[in-house]
């Protein structure tokens, strides 16, 4: 079984509001970007360039990059605190969060030359690595069945295929791309034959690559990417050819932990707004919060958020210690996404009709919270993971 049932005794985690100075610094940045800023971006389907630039200048997005490459070298829990605080302050971390963790594949599996070439720029923000080309229209979550091909021709690879839901590709300089370098029918295991490339979008777009925006429920600047004869230098292959699937997988735990805590930030913001409204909104001669129909759902949301927070902290502690944490990271993401979705529903219900008014920002956070049930991994996939890898049940179909 996975490490979920056998946590090493020596690993500990801090409770309460950890990293208080870091939280205060993030809050000060967020104060300059109120709800009105985000509502205007929604109207224009815009990208929060000013906000991302502020986070970059403050060094928040380089939290996980080692100091030798210009980053802060902080533990994953500190990075999680940054994302949580952004969302708990009413802002939205998702337009920038990928800059924080996509580089992990490069950091863990890239060559010394690649790391020295790219990581300092990613750390100071002069290079944006925010796009991750994995999902495809026909294969969806079945990554081993992806159809994008990369064929070696001399000193470069020629890439042909399509990616979808590739967020921020139009606002990135670099994209991490997963492609099949050996046909599926020629590998011993279906997870073999996949390779990871670092694609320079500044050269690629218009030279074998086209990027088209997707109009969606939430403003994540997501796109679909078309590649036809795209040339990628062989030196941009990360690690060994054919081992890309495992390179991608070992970055998933970090992503799950960070997104889980990001969820919790939204949940805390929504709960605070709902509680405040329930205390001050008076109907039938008193505050609506005295009614059990309002009070009990909010109390349950608080309990769910606190429980999910504990699992997220546990997953982060295991990750930092280098211990197995696949089940904890996945469960943390599932519990946090569900707690946040329940809180979004309760907050909207508490506000009644005003919950639909854009000026309250409840509907904006409600839309964000719904995404977490689907991406970056759906609840059902996590349940399948736990059933098979933790409980040892047969593989489901």
CATH number at residue 330: 1.20.140.10
In a domain, residue 149? The reply is: yes
DSSP one-letter code for 211: E
What's the confidence (pLDDT) of residue 3? 45
What's the confidence (pLDDT) of residue 395? 84
Both structure tokens of 86: 């952004």
In a domain, residue 273? The reply is: yes
| Domain boundary, last residue among 207, 242, 277 | 242
Half-sphere exposure of 250 (CA within 13 A, CB side): 15
- Tell the burial category of 98 from Cβ atoms under 10 Å away from its Cβ (0-12, 13-18, 19+): buried
Contact, 250 vs 238, CB < 8 A?
no
238 and 250 part of one domain: no
DSSP one-letter code for 356: G
Three-class DSSP category at 7: coil
Both structure tokens of 179: 């492609």
Three-class DSSP category at 223: strand
In a domain, residue 116? The reply is: yes
What's the confidence (pLDDT) of residue 1? 41
What's the confidence (pLDDT) of residue 11? 81
167 and 45 part of one domain: no
- Which candidate in 255, 262, 304, 368 is catalytic? 255
What's the confidence (pLDDT) of residue 2? 47
Both structure tokens of 372: 């977490």
Which residue in 232, 200, 298, 251 sits closest to 64, CA to CA?
251
Which residue in 268, 318, 327, 274 sits closest to 296, CA to CA?
274
In a domain, residue 145? The reply is: yes
In a domain, residue 395? The reply is: no
Phi and psi angles of residue 217, each rounded to the nearest 5 degrees, phi first: -60, -35
| Domain boundary, last residue among 242, 267, 298 | 242
265 and 323 part of one domain: yes
| Distance, CA of 143 to CA of 140 (rounded, Å) | 7
What's the confidence (pLDDT) of residue 397? 65
In a domain, residue 396? The reply is: no
Question: What residues make up the domain containing 72?
Answer: 3-124
Q: Identify the H or E element spanning 394.
A: none
233 and 272 part of one domain: no
**Domain CATH code at residue 94:** 1.10.540.10
Three-class DSSP category at 228: strand
Query: Strand 282-283 and strand 286-287: pairing?
Result: antiparallel
In a domain, residue 277? The reply is: yes
Contact, 260 vs 253, CB < 8 A?
no
104 and 146 part of one domain: no
DSSP string of 73-139, one letter each residue: ---HHHHHHHHHHHHHTT---HHHHHHHHTHHHHHHHS-HHHHHHHHHHHHHTSS-EEEEE---TTT
269 and 350 part of one domain: yes
What's the confidence (pLDDT) of residue 4? 46
Three-class DSSP labels, 247-314: HHHHHHHHHHHHHHHHHHHHHHHHHHHHHHHHHHCEECCEEHHHCHHHHHHHHHHHHHHHHHHHHHHH
* Mean pLDDT, 10 residues at a time, the chain of 397 residues: 51 86 98 97 94 96 97 97 98 94 95 97 96 90 90 97 96 97 93 97 97 93 97 97 91 94 98 98 95 97 98 96 94 98 98 97 97 92 94 86
Which residue in 284, 287, 305, 302 sits closest to 350, CA to CA?
287
| Distance, CA of 8 to CA of 250 (rounded, Å) | 20
211 and 173 part of one domain: yes
Three-class DSSP category at 295: helix
Active site residue 255: yes
| Domain boundary, last residue among 194, 210, 242 | 242
Cα separations in angstroms, 262 against 77, 86, 88, 96, 355 = 12, 8, 8, 12, 22
| Distance, CA of 237 to CA of 195 (rounded, Å) | 7
331 and 226 part of one domain: no
Dihedral sign for Cα 330, 331, 333, 337, please.
positive
194 and 74 part of one domain: no
What's the confidence (pLDDT) of residue 144? 87
In a domain, residue 225? The reply is: yes
288 and 382 part of one domain: yes
Instruction: Produce one character per residue of 207-221: b if its CB has 16 or more CB atoms within 10 Å, e if not.
Output: ebbebeeeeeeebbb
269 and 383 part of one domain: yes
**Domain CATH code at residue 164:** 2.40.110.10
Instruction: Produce one character per residue of 286-309: b if its CB has 16 or more CB atoms within 10 Å, e if not.
Output: eebbeeeebbebbeebbebbeebb
Total structural domains in the chain? 3
Residues in the chain: 397
167 and 253 part of one domain: no
pTM metric for this prediction: 0.93
Contact, 160 vs 140, CB < 8 A?
no
């Amino acid at each position: 079984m996975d490490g979920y049932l056998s946590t090493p005794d020596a690993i500990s985690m801090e409770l309460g509001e950890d990293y208080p100075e870091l939280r205060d610094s993030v809050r000060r940045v967020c104060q300059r970007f109120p709800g009105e800023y985000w509502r205007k971006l929604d109207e224009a389907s815009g990208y929060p360039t000013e906000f991302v630039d502020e986070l970059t200048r403050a060094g928040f997005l380089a939290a996980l990059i080692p100091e030798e490459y210009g980053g802060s070298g902080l533990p994953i829990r500190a990075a999680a605190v940054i994302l949580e605080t952004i969302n708990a302050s009413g802002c939205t971390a998702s337009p920038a969060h990928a800059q924080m963790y996509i580089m992990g594949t490069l950091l863990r599996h890239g060559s010394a030359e690649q790391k020295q070439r790219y990581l300092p720029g990613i750390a100071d923000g002069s290079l944006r690595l925010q796009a991750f080309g994995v999902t495809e229209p026909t294969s969806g979550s079945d990554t081993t069945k992806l159809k994008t091909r990369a064929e070696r021709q001399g000193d470069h690879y020629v890439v042909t295929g399509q990616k979808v839901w590739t967020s921020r590709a139009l606002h990135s300089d670099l994209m991490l791309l997963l492609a099949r370098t050996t046909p599926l029918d020629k590998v011993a295991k279906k997870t073999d034959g996949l390779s990871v490339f670092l694609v320079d979008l500044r050269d690629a777009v218009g030279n074998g690559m086209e990027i088209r925006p997707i109009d969606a429920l939430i403003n994540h600047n997501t796109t679909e990417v078309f590649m036809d004869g795209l040339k990628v230098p062989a030196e941009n292959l990360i690690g060994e050819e054919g081992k890309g699937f495992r390179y991608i997988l070992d970055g998933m735990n970090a992503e799950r932990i960070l997104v889980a805590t990001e969820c919790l930030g939204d949940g805390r913001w929504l709960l605070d707004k709902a509680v405040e409204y329930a205390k001050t909104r008076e109907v039938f001669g008193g505050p609506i919060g005295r009614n059990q129909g309002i009070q009990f759902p909010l109390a349950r949301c608080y309990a769910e958020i606190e429980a999910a927070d504990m699992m997220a902290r546990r997953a982060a502690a295991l990750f930092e210690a280098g211990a197995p944490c696949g089940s904890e990271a996945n469960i943390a993401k599932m519990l946090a996404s569900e707690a946040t979705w329940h809180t979004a529903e309760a907050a909207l219900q508490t506000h009644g009709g005003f919950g639909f008014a854009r000026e309250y920002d409840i509907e904006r956070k409600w839309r964000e919270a719904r995404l977490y049930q689907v991406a970056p991994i759906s609840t059902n996939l996590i349940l399948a993971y736990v059933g098979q890898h933790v409980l040892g049940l047969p593989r489901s179909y």
